[in-house]
């Protein structure tokens, strides 16, 4: 079968859930026996998400091969239960960079290099290449941004060009928003009609419209969209708000989206196995007993709004683990700075069953995090530290258990007498030369576990592979002292040199990792460390 391409674009506004819609379509096609991969196009000039602001753009999702990508790549991995690689992520910056590099290498053989067609051609090449490498029957391509803005026009042009090259193998899905203004009390289709017109003027006619709204789409709206948007009524698909994003493939299937897509391509379903998924959603729905987890961070607020997007993989990993134990996860966002302002706030941690300090950068809020970590260690409150959450746990231990009162990381305090966390040697030169993009220690590395550790028990094996994103590390100069004082080195790089996991002694669950286990958690395969952390939290 020829590779098939399904483009997913967004109408009316951002944040309508294109990524999850795209992942859900992939999940459905996969469940029907086809091989699927998914690509994210991010319209930013940034070459990767590593240099984007987490409160504006959300989490930086790290792939197995070390690309710093958009959080939607994480959605694809979780829904499709497969690793997505760097080939499947592109930004405007990345595309332009390769066009310009090719021009400099005379690869255009002295021709004038133009925005059109050369930029969309580069986009198409990248899409085809990813499809080929994944040996995918279906390649889903999510186009970031909203139809009608300047930023993604060249990507839409790529869609138009590819469709005219292979009209039978390309499909376009518009994920659009249908507001229900409270004073009007009726779901409105006009903004979506306008979005479709805008797409039309780019030479693109959507095959399906996924209609995001507070409520399911009714027949009247379906008919309206059919009349004004050039699609059949059946292809206006209802996509109401849901409690749980994992319900979305099941909801789409209620409208037989999978079979409608296959039929349009002249294909048939070869299997049917969304049952596991249905079971998971049922468990999540039925889970009444709670497990309360606090996440201590700082990337929460934009103006008056609180966003949790910067920690999406952590949140999903907690959900997967909680559902595994048939519990309902309750997440509490703790701004670390409030503990600095008022240490009495620490008393409120009593209400929680477990604490996570996730990844982070810079000095703001670190003292508050260290206070929370101390509280967890001293009060036998389950603690899971992720990356910065591990480095700060080392600092806490050094200060309060090894007598190194002003211990710190140079990232926070250059002048500290005890840099128990220090810059990785190969990072020094990079920072001096201001080579900051894609230069951290990135991607999956092997780690060997100590047999008598909590971590070993959780994984059930001694060799693991986990994803990293950091410039600083545990400083081995202090290793002997800290181990003497009881810190457990539970995992290292195979040569023993890099400390990858620490554990605190005599504790129900106090595990902190230099890597980010959250990236590898999948809905039906919770990550072992999250699974055991939640188990300890429940107990």
Contact at 8 Å (CB) between 201 and 187? Answer: no
Instruction: Tell me the per-residue interface mask from 90 to 109 with ligand GLN, x by CB under 6 A, - otherwise.
Output: --------------------
Q: In the complex with ligand GLN, which residue's Cβ is closer, 179 or 359?
A: 359
Q: How far is the CB of 532 from ligand GLN (least distance, A)?
A: 21
Question: For ligand GLN, which residue of 96, 108, 228, 361 counts as binding (CB under 6 A)?
Answer: 361
Q: How far is the CB of 361 from ligand GLN (least distance, A)?
A: 4
Question: For ligand GLN, which residue of 469, 488, 520, 535 counts as binding (CB under 6 A)?
Answer: 469
CA 302/CA 387 separation, integer angstroms: 24
**170-177 and 36-42 strand pairing:** unpaired
Site membership for ligand GLN, residue 413 (CB under 6 A) = no
377 alpha-carbon distance from chain centroid = 29
Instruction: Tell me the per-residue interface mask from 330 to 359 with ligand GLN, x by CB under 6 A, - otherwise.
Output: -----------------------------x
Site membership for ligand GLN, residue 312 (CB under 6 A) = no
Stretch that binds ligand GLN, among 74-82, 110-118, 240-248, 464-472 (CB under 6 A): 464-472
CA 356/CA 126 separation, integer angstroms: 38
Site membership for ligand GLN, residue 472 (CB under 6 A) = yes
Taking the CA atoms of residue 532, residue 407, residue 372 and residue 312 in that order, the dihedral angle to the nearest 10 degrees is -60
> What part of residues 368-407 is at the interface with ligand GLN (CB under 6 A)?
387-388, 391
Q: How far is the CB of 298 from ligand GLN (least distance, A)?
A: 12
CA 39/CA 172 separation, integer angstroms: 14
The number of residues in the chain equals 539
Catalytic residues: 387, 516, 518
Q: How far is the CB of 409 from ligand GLN (least distance, A)?
A: 7
Burial of residue 110 (CB within 10 Å: 0-12, 13-18, 19+) is exposed
Q: How far is the CB of 471 from ligand GLN (least distance, A)?
A: 4
Q: How many residues bind ligand GLN (CB under 6 A)?
A: 11
Question: For ligand GLN, which residue of 411, 466, 518, 532 counts as binding (CB under 6 A)?
Answer: 411
Instruction: Tell me the per-residue interface mask from 180 to 209 with ligand GLN, x by CB under 6 A, - otherwise.
Output: ------------------------------
Q: In the complex with ligand GLN, which residue's Cβ is closer, 377 or 469?
A: 469
Kindly report the number of other CB atoms within 10 A of residue 414's CB atom: 9
Q: In the complex with ligand GLN, which residue's Cβ is closer, 3 or 441?
A: 441
CA 326/CA 289 separation, integer angstroms: 8
Q: How far is the CB of 391 from ligand GLN (least distance, A)?
A: 6
Instruction: Locate 151 and state its tokens.
Output: 């930023």
Contact at 8 Å (CB) between 58 and 70? Answer: yes
Question: For ligand GLN, which residue of 471, 507, 531, 535 counts as binding (CB under 6 A)?
Answer: 471
Q: In the complex with ligand GLN, which residue's Cβ is closer, 22 or 357?
A: 357
Site membership for ligand GLN, residue 470 (CB under 6 A) = yes
Taking the CA atoms of residue 465, residue 467, residue 472 and residue 473 in that order, the dihedral angle to the nearest 10 degrees is -20
Helices (H), 39-114: 54-57, 71-80, 92-104
List CB contacts of 116: < 8 A, sequence separation 6 or more. Answer: 154, 157
Q: Find out whether the peptide bond into 117 is cis, omega within 30 degrees of 0.
A: yes
Residues that bind ligand GLN (CB under 6 A): 359-361, 387-388, 391, 411, 469-472
């Amino acid at each position: 079968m020829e590779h098939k391409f399904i483009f997913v674009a967004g109408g009316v506004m951002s944040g309508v859930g294109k990524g999850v819609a795209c992942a859900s379509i992939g999940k459905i096609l996969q469940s029907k026996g086809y091989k699927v991969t998914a690509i994210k196009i991010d319209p930013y000039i940034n070459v990767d998400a590593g240099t984007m602001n987490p409160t504006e753009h959300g989490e930086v999702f790290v792939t197995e091969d070390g690309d710093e990508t958009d959080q939607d790549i994480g959605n694809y991995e979780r829904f499709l239960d497969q690793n997505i690689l760097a080939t499947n992520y592109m930004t405007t910056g990345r595309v332009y960079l390769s066009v310009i590099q090719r021009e400099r290498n005379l690869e255009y053989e002295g021709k004038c290099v133009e925005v059109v067609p050369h930029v969309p051609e580069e986009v198409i090449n990248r899409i085809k290449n990813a499809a080929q490498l994944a040996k995918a029957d279906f390649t889903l391509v999510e186009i970031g941004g909203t139809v009608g803005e300047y930023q993604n026009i060249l990507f839409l042009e790529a869609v138009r060009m590819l469709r005219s090259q292979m009209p039978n193998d390309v499909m376009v899905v518009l994920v659009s928003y249908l507001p229900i203004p409270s004073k009007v009390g009726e779901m409105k289709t006009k903004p979506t009609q306008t979005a479709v017109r805008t797409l039309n003027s780019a030479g693109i006619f959507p095959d399906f419209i996924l209609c995001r709204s507070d409520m399911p789409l009714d027949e009247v709206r379906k008919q309206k969209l059919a009349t004004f948007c050039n699609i059949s009524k059946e292809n206006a698909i209802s996509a109401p708000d849901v409690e749980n994003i994992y319900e979305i493939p099941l909801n789409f299937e209620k409208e037989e989206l999978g079979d409608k897509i296959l039929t349009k391509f002249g294909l048939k379903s070869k299997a049917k196995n969304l049952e596991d998924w249905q079971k998971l959603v049922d468990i999540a729905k039925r889970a009444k007993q709670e497990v309360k987890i606090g996440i201590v961070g700082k990337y929460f607020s934009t103006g008056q709004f609180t966003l949790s997007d910067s920690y999406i993989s952590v949140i999903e990993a907690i959900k997967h683990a909680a559902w595994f134990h048939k519990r309902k996860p309750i997440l509490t966002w703790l701004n670390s700075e409030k503990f600095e302002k008022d240490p009495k706030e620490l008393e409120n941690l009593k209400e929680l069953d477990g604490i996570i300090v996730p990844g982070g950068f810079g000095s703001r809020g670190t003292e508050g995090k260290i206070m929370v970590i101390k509280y967890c260690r001293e009060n036998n409150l389950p603690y899971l530290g992720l990356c910065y959450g591990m480095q700060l746990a080392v600092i806490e231990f050094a200060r309060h258990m090894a007598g190194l009162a002003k211990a710190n990381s140079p990232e926070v305090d250059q002048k500290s007498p005890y840099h128990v966390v220090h810059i990785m040697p190969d990072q020094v030169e990079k920072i001096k030369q201001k080579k900051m993009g894609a230069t951290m220690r990135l991607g999956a590395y092997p780690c060997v576990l100590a047999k008598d550790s909590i971590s070993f028990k959780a994984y059930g094996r001694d060799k693991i592979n986990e994803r990293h994103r950091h410039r600083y590390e545990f400083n081995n100069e202090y290793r002997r002292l800290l181990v003497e004082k009881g810190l457990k080195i539970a995992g290292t790089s195979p040569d023993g040199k890099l400390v990858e996991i620490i554990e605190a002694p005599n504790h129900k669950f106090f595990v902190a990792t230099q890597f980010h286990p959250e990236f590898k958690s999948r809905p039906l395969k919770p990550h072992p460390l999250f699974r055991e952390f939640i188990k300890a939290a429940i107990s």
